[in-house]
Structure 1
Amino acid sequence: MIRNKLLLAAIVAGSTVTVSQAALAYQAGDFLLRGDIAKTSPEGDASDNIESENGFVGSVGYMVHDKLGVTLGSSEEFEHEFSAGAYEGSFEQQPIDLMVQYYPLGGLDARVQPYVGVGANYTRFSGESDGLNIDNTWAAKGELGVDLFVTKNFAFNGFASYTDLDADYSLAGVSDEADVDPLTVGGGVTFRF
């Protein structure tokens, strides 16, 4: 009798572990909601003239396949201090991204779900100081990230992204192009529904 109870307990425990692990896998139809604190740093030719800034970034995603998702993301406006020669001022930048993300372990019972993404970035500039005008621009963007699941619907997230951003601007009537190329690194949480 005790042997049957132990066998039954082992079967129940084993099936519970199997079910909970399978529940961690990304699957087609899942919605992802991410919120992160990030630091964005210009890495292009203009990096000496533009200061780095911290802020909140977030995205909403949908898994179209176990290994493939689409996300729409944005952030609060990052305010950057800017200097060029004797000129000192500031501007605000707000990126909006549409990304396709590939999850190599999607559909598998892995607590760690790395991903890589590529997509389009639209950056809106505003709040330029007097004499400075920056045009909104489109750019290509790439991203690497990882979700570390704690429960079925909650994970910690970390990511790094790079945007190949060249912005046309005019300063005191002189027009030019700035090679900004922001590198953004952040961490936060992912909720899955």
Structure 2
Amino acid sequence: MTKMKLLSASIVAGSLIVASQTSFAYEAGDILLRGGIAENNATGDGIDISDDSAFVGSVGYMIQDKVGVTLGGSDKFERSLSGQGVNGEVDSQLIDLMVEYYPLGGLDSRIQPYAGVGANYTRFSGESAGLSVDNTWSPKGEVGVDLVVTDYLSFNGFASYADVDADYNAAGGASGELDSDPVIVGGGVTLNF
């Protein structure tokens, strides 16, 4: 009798392990919703730019087991600018369209790393009086990893870089190019449907 209970428990446990492992694969047709907080660190090439944190999010679609397309964006990052005749405040908001590669896509893995390339549109608003910064397009790259917890929930961490060069005009006639090149590091959660 105890051998039968042990055999039954082993079969149930084994089937649960197999069933849970197969559900950890990212596959074609999956929808990935990401949300979290990110720190935006920018260099100014002569203009000091303050760092700021904001909410970031994206929606992605797996077109193949290893390839996905993602549309992402952020809340406004509030920046202070100073140097080279510029002294003021500006908000930057990011919108990205990325193609991402998942090397373990389609495989049963609790770790799903990815790398992506695409286009970034940075929208500037809320400039201080006398300061004007033009919206701009730029290339962007990103690396990240999802640590799968359940069938539908993962913890996410990522780092990205965009080559943002925006033209500006400041009070007193100062003008030039704001070469911010932000490195964004963040984390949050991924929901997989």
- One-letter amino acid of the structure 2 residue matched with residue 181 of structure 1: D
Q: CA deviation at 1:35?
A: 0.6
3-state SS in 2 of match to 1:99:
strand
Other-structure match for 2:42 = 42
AA of the residue aligned to 2:142: E
1:69-80 matched pairs, under 5 angstroms:
69-80=68-79
- The CA deviation at 1:84 is 2.0
d(CA) in 1 for partners of 2:12 and 2:42? 54
Alpha-carbon shift at residue 6 of structure 1 (Å): 2.6
* C-alpha displacement of 1:72: 0.4
CA contact (8 A) 2:31 2:62 kept: yes
CA distance in 2, matches of 1:69, 1:8: 41
TM-score normalised by structure 1 residue count: 0.94
What's the CA shift string for 1:23-67, capped at 9, x where partnerless?
011011111111111100113515x51101111100011111111
SS of residue paired to 1:45: coil
Q: Give 5+ residue unaligned stretches, structure 1.
A: none
Count of residues in correspondence between the two structures: 192
Residue 84 of structure 2 contacts residue 174 of structure 2 at CA under 8 Å; is this kept in 1? no
1:132 aligned partner: 131
Equivalent residue number for residue 96 of structure 1: 95
- Taking the aligned partners of 1:145 and 1:30, their CA distance within structure 2 comes to 18
The answer to whether the 8 Å contact 1:44/1:182 transfers is no
Q: 2:86–2:174: 8 Å Cα contact kept in structure 1?
A: no
Q: Which amino acid aligns with 1:40?
A: N
Aligned to 1:155, the other structure's residue is in SS state strand
Q: Tell me the amino acid that sits aligned with residue 91 of structure 2.
A: E
Partners of 2:10 and 2:2 in 1: CA distance: 12
Q: Alpha-carbon deviation of 1:86?
A: 6.1
2:29 is paired with a residue whose SS is coil
Structure 1, residues 143-189: CA drift from partner, whole Å, max 9, x if none? 01000011110011000000011111112333311211000000111
Output the amino acid matched with 1:139.
S
Q: CA RMSD in A?
A: 1.4
Structure 2: gaps of 5 or more residues: none
